[in-house]
Structure 1
């Protein structure tokens, strides 16, 4: 009996060593990780606890996927939101970009005395990220602030930082969008500067933003009307934005 037990242990140990040497356990670990991240991406709330640990993975791609997953599911606990803020502030650009994007969509999933308190820390992090040396991080931060505006969250504290980004050739058009979405009416003149001698996507985003900041100064309205009349692309973009706004109001 004892001999059989010892032999069974030896056989089990040998099998374990062989599996470890052939990388089977590593493969299983990767498969589980992918499965967990897919669950998060498709909205499975139960995947949140497992995925949070991946925010500290040594693999940049895994950290980025985990950070982006929380935005897709749209919720997280306070500690995870804090982790995402840390990723925006300190991690490599690929991870910071994903984390910044997620912060625009994530809501806290646990009751607190002030359910909106976390939004202050999120907004501060996004404002800081608008000056990040990597343009994709800046773009994601502006996009997240824009999302805050469309969600009805007061993000006007980001106005000054967004105005500084309007001349950024890589992401200034998203800054214009964000200013429109957060209702920064006093920036109409700054946004209107993009209506002339700017790339087409800058002009379209500026025009859409200005339609959300009514009433406009007379000179800005005249400039916008002229561009809408003469540029079919701008006209279509504005008309589409107005249709979407009308649907939201309903």
Structure 2
């Protein structure tokens, strides 16, 4: 068990984080749990199951302990969002406070080589899944307000990168959804926000434990990315928070 106690600013909250078996998703899940949130960590591949189990064990060893369940779900399947929410409600009750759309995929191809299957895979996961998740999560968001919808997006959504046109286009679409959701959900005091990673390639040096400084193409972001993420979670206003320079 950790030797220091963590501030329970999110005690009693329930958070769903997609793509939470490793990297940024695992880091986000752990930071929310440190502050008292109960976490639903989604993953896709069988090889990720062990990683989510390790994350759950680490969260259970916090002082005070929190809870994390893993949900295996292929978010390209339109039935997966409803199943994620079903398991979240079964485990933690009928309120969901935070949704983090972190899962995403890319295809490294020139425009000339992109297939319709590539297009469907990228847009189903990166665009359709966040929309379907919002639709099924919304009835469980706090009726008194304070829910958070957080979308993770790269700077490529606005800059573009060679051979990554599908990925960048899908994330630009997600940014458009984020802004529109902010307008639609604001009357219920639900915040729709995005955290932009800059530049495209990021490596979280110590995915869950240790220092969470982020290496960005050879340079180091001196503000831990998880701290920026927590600013989004606790913000009272819908907003866009860039990691660097946007």
- TM-score computed with the length of structure 2 as normaliser: 0.34
Q: Which has the larger radius of gyration?
A: 1
Larger strand share, 1 or 2? 2
- TM-score computed with the length of structure 1 as normaliser: 0.34
